[in-house]
């Protein structure tokens, strides 16, 4: 039966996250970006909303079941506030959710209760690598079986909070197939860059590079491994949802600005040239939101084509985010280009969805 | 309620049934009735009437209050959702044929949106009769397209006979011929004519009138030759002192200082825009499937999951087309789901139409481009779908007028504030 209405629980979560995004993340976004730092209190407050906790079963210290649809709703709301802040709050999921999805019983017991039951702590994951045609299904970082464990070699980029991380999942190529490996912070052969990554956007989010030289690690899911497609799809849906939040933020700013700004005796929103841009932005956002919801629903219901749907949702949302955030700047005109105004950051963050992956998971 | 994309069983069953109709009755003669523009595919019309009556579909493509049987709890109707899925599938077969599927069409939709319970009973029952029956909407005039307030057709009440006397000329009446001309094989149809009962009152003076087929003074002046949807007749209808019973006016017969008359028309559009969108998307799906089939025959695979910069140009195009098509269809579903759940959907309705207009034209145009001579040749139906598709962005409000509706909604502007 078709329905486009979140259930009561989802709505409560969306409302709570929405309030936090609007009242806490949004006002802090500009200073966090310029100062390259997110206040710790801000992250803790987001963590206490309990998104990951509500996605983890009681047996592992949580109080609910994971749902990609619920995740999509929550991530969009949070990214609406600020992308860097949202990704920071959700960083522990990068470690916990793959364990939930593909970890062995032992791994779940070992890690989840501590993460879910405690304060926000930097557990993270490393997926991306520095190549123009980065492909999560053809990683250059390698894993080789070595008795009961695995040995990793390679370099990873854009790893959130790696410097302080307790443990991380590193994705590597095991005989042509991508698999996740649990790497301890003290693992021999693991070096983490001193310098933070410098990228076009997301400057408030501390990200680092990794070098892995014969690092011993345990495989996610144990000897038999796990279905990386499932994890990848959950990453794609998170990316699409975050893109929606960023786009919605730019759209809202642009809409409000257009209704305030006078030109030729009217508000610029009263000119069709601007009004049509806004109409198309709203339409595009709604289109990609529904595509993302459907992909998430397919993932939750184990539909055959859920991986393709997640791929389409991510691809479409990345384009949408660029289109919408570009227009956000355009509607502000010269003011949009000035860093005092919020839309230029949204445009920088908007472009990232075309290449960033694995920075969020639902 | 929770977010759910599972196709309800009655809709899935209907889709399977209609797909076979599309393949066996529509596609087989699509070309013939595209080339023979004013011919009438009676086989299709009669088959559809019988089949849909037997299926209990309310005699053709009229929205019903059908409720799904599964589930003990009280559920909302899925009538509009089913209708959208029907229209999508029939248009996948042939959109020209879909437009001549017997039933109430836009005429009945106007009665449904603006009529009293008595009027609905009186005018809508006929679509369940033995013979296939049509109804059409007459809104557009030579000087009044999207700007419906410019309508010149006049209706004057003759106090002596209690009849409305209508004068004017309507163009672009889809199905006008089959709704008005008395064919032996058809039941008695009607046209719904929009006219002003008080030109000084602007839009608030606008009313819709049910004009029965064969009414004196009404005539089909011309059947248009078109770029596409050539199996569907598009009529010019003239009304000269046409007399219509007093009770055939939809809505209040007097002019208040409100815009209820016009709102009646707009309510019709809120209900029908996603259906027009659905129709366009059926054509787009046909084109995309044909494209993928031809690519496959030629050994071209679409490698989903690869990063964009590893894809070929054709792969990128096809993937973009799929994103456009799937998301546009979901927008249609949401708009009709809202209609079924009695949620105001003016915004979603127009959004779905904006998106479908864009998507349908882009997908069909790109498919022809990619397939080169195969796309351009009349040996295949793709070039026909390209021509058929264009109407989606024009009728039932152009893409531009729907952008205006969307913009007003999201900005909270009146028509005066955003012109």
Which A positions 1-40 lie with beta carbon below 8 A of chain B? 1-7, 10
Contact B200, B218 (CB under 8 A): no
- Determine how many CB atoms are found less than 10 A away from the CB of residue B310: 14
Beta carbons of A221 and A102 less than 8 angstroms apart: yes
Please tell me the distance from the alpha carbon of residue A289 to that of residue A296, in angstroms, as a whole number.
10
Q: How many CB pairs under 8 A join A and B?
A: 143
Confidence of residue B254 (pLDDT cuts 50, 70, 90): confident
Helix (H) or strand (E) holding B85: helix B79-99
- Rounded to whole angstroms, how far apart are CA atoms B207 and B218? 18
CB within 8 Å: A3 and B4: yes
B88 is catalytic: no
Nearest chain A CA: its distance from B11 CA (Å): 10
Q: What is the pTM of this model?
A: 0.94
Cα distance between residue B103 and residue B206, in whole Å: 25
A7-20 confidence digits (pLDDT tens): 999 999 999 999 99
Residue, of B55 and B263, whose pLDDT is higher: B55
Q: Which two tokens stand for residue A71?
A: 């995740």
B109 falls in which pLDDT band (50, 70, 90)? confident
User: Closest Cα to residue A135, out of A164, A186, A177?
Assistant: A177
| pLDDT band for position B54 (cuts 50, 70, 90) | confident
- Helix B346-371 to helix B260-297 angle, to the nearest 10 degrees? 30
Residue B200, pLDDT > 60, answer yes
Interface check A65 vs B, CB under 8 A:
no
Q: Are A133 and B307 in contact (CB < 8 Å)?
A: yes
Q: Distance (Å) from the C-alpha of residue A162 to the closest C-alpha of chain B? A: 25
The pLDDT score that the predictor gives to residue B53 is 85
Look at B404 and A275 and tell me if their CB atoms are within 8 Å: yes
Closest Cβ–Cβ partner in B3, B410, B419 for A278: B410
Q: Is B174 helix (H, G, I), strand (E, B) or coil?
A: strand
Cα A114 vs. chain centroid, distance in angstroms? 22
- The answer to whether residues B327 and B320 touch, using CB atoms and an 8 Å cutoff, is no
The whole-angstrom distance between A99's CA and the closest CA on chain B is 23
Maximum distance among all alpha carbons in chain A?
77
Q: In the 8-state DSSP scheme, what is residue B152?
A: -
pLDDT band at B1, cuts 50/70/90? confident
- Is the pLDDT reported for residue B295 higher than 50? yes
Mean pLDDT of B266-294: 91
Residue with token string 């929103």: A269
Residue B182: name the closest of B214, B146, B227 by CA: B214
Residues in B closer than 8 angstroms to A270, CB to CB, are: 413, 417-419
3 state SS for chain A: CEECCCCHHHHHHHHHHHHHHHHHHHHHHHHHHHHCCCCHHHHHHHHCCCHHHHCCCHHHCCCCCCCHHHHHHHHHHHHHHCHHHHHHHHHHHHHHHHHHHHCCHHHHHHHHHHHHHCCCCCCEEECCCCCCCCCCCCCCCEEEEECCEEEEEEEEEEEECHHHCCEEEEEEEECCEEEEEEEECCCCCEEECCCCCCCCCCCCCCEEEEEEEEEEEEECCHHHCCCHHHHHHHHHHHHHHHHHHHHHHHHHHHHHHHHHCEECCEEHHHCHHHHHHHHHHHHHHHHHHHHHHHHHHHHHCCCCCHHHHHHHHHHHHHHHHHHHHHHHHHHHHHHHHCCCCCHHHHHHHHHHCCCCCCCCCC
Q: Is the Cβ–Cβ distance between B229 and B173 less than 8 Å?
A: no
Burial class (CB in 10 A: 0-12, 13-18, 19+), B131: middle
Residue A297 to residue B407, Cβ atoms within 8 A: no
Share of chain A above pLDDT 70, in %: 100
């Amino acid at each position: 039966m078709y329905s486009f209405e979140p259930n009561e629980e989802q709505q409560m979560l969306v409302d709570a996250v929405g309030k936090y995004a609007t009242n806490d993340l949004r006002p802090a976004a500009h200073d966090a970006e310029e100062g390259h730092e997110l206040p710790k209190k801000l992250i803790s407050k987001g963590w206490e909303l309990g998104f990951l906790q509500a996605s983890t079963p009681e047996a592992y210290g949580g109080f609910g079941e994971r749902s990609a649809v619920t995740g999509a709703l929550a991530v969009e709301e949070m990214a609406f506030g600020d992308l860097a802040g949202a990704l920071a709050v959700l960083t522990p999921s990068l470690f916990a959710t793959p364990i939930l999805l593909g970890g062995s019983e032992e791994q779940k017991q070992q890690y989840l209760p501590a993460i879910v039951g405690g304060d926000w702590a930097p557990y993270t994951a490393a997926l991306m690598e520095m190549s123009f045609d980065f492909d999560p299904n053809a990683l250059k970082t390698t894993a080789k079986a070595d008795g009961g464990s695995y040995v990793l070699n390679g370099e990873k980029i854009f790893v959130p909070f790696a410097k302080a991380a307790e443990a991380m999942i590193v994705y590597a190529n095991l005989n042509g197939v991508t698999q996740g490996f649990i790497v301890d912070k003290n693992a021999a052969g693991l070096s983490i860059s001193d310098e933070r990554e410098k990228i076009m956007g997301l400057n408030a989010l501390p990200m680092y590079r990794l070098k892995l030289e014969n690092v011993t690690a345990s495989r996610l899911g144990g000897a038999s491994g796990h279905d990386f497609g499932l994890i990848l799809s959950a990453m794609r849906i998170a990316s699409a949802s975050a893109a929606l939040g960023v786009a919605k933020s730019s759209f809202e700013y642009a809409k409000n600005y257009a209704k305030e700004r006078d030109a030729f005796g009217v508000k610029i929103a009263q000119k069709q040239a601007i009004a049509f841009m806004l109409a198309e932005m709203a339409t595009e956002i709604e289109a990609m939101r529904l595509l993302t919801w459907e992909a998430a629903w397919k993932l939750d219901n184990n539909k055959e084509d859920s991986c393709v749907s997640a791929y389409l949702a991510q691809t479409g949302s990345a384009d949408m985010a660029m289109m919408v955030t570009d227009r956000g700047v355009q509607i502000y005109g010269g003011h949009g280009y000035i860093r005092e105004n919020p839309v230029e950051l949204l445009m920088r963050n908007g472009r990232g969805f075309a290449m960033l992956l694995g920075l969020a998971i639902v | 309620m929770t977010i759910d994309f599972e196709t309800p069983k009655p809709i899935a069953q209907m889709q399977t049934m209609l797909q076979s109709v599309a393949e066996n009755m529509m596609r087989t003669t699509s070309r013939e009735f595209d080339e023979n523009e004013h011919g009438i595919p009676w086989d299709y019309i009669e088959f559809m009437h019988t089949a849909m009556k037997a299926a209990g579909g309310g005699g053709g493509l009229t929205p019903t209050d059908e409720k799904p049987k599964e589930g003990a709890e009280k559920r909302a109707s899925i009538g509009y959702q089913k209708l959208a899925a029907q229209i999508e599938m029939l248009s996948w077969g042939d959109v020209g044929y879909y437009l001549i599927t017997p039933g109430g069409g836009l005429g009945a939709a106007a009665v449904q949106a603006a009529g009293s319970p008595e009027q609905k009973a009186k005018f809508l029952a006929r679509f369940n009769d033995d013979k296939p029956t049509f109804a059409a909407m007459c809104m557009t005039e030579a000087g009044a397209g999207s700007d419906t307030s410019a309508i010149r057709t006049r209706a004057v009440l003759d106090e002596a006979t209690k009849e409305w006397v209508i004068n004017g000329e309507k163009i672009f009446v889809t199905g006008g011929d089959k709704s008005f001309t008395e064919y032996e094989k058809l039941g008695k149809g009607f046209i719904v004519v929009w006219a002003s009962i008080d030109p000084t009152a602007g839009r608030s003076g606008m009313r819709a009138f049910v004009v029965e087929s064969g009414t004196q003074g009404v005539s089909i002046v011309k059947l248009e030759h078109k770029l596409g949807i050539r199996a569907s007749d598009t009529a010019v209808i003239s009304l000269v002192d046409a007399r219509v019973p007093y009770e055939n006016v939809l809505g209040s017969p007097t002019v208040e200082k409100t815009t209820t008359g016009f709102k009646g028309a707009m309510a019709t559009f809120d209900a029908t825009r996603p259906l027009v969108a659905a129709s366009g998307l059926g054509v787009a799906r046909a084109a995309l499937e044909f494209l993928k089939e031809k690519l496959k025959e030629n050994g071209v695979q679409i490698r989903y999951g690869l990063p964009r910069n590893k894809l070929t140009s054709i792969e990128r195009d096809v993937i973009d087309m799929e994103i456009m098509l799937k998301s546009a269809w979901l927008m249609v579903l949401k708009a009709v789901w809202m209609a079924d759940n009695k949620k105001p959907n003016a915004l979603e309705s127009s959004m779905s139409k904006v998106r479908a207009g864009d998507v349908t034209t882009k997908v069909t145009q790109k498919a022809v481009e990619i397939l080169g001579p195969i796309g351009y040749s009349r040996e295949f139906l793709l070039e026909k779908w390209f021509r058929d598709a264009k109407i989606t962005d024009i009728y039932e409000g152009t893409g531009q007028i729907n952008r205006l509706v969307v913009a007003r909604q999201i900005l909270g502007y009146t028509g005066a504030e955003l012109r």
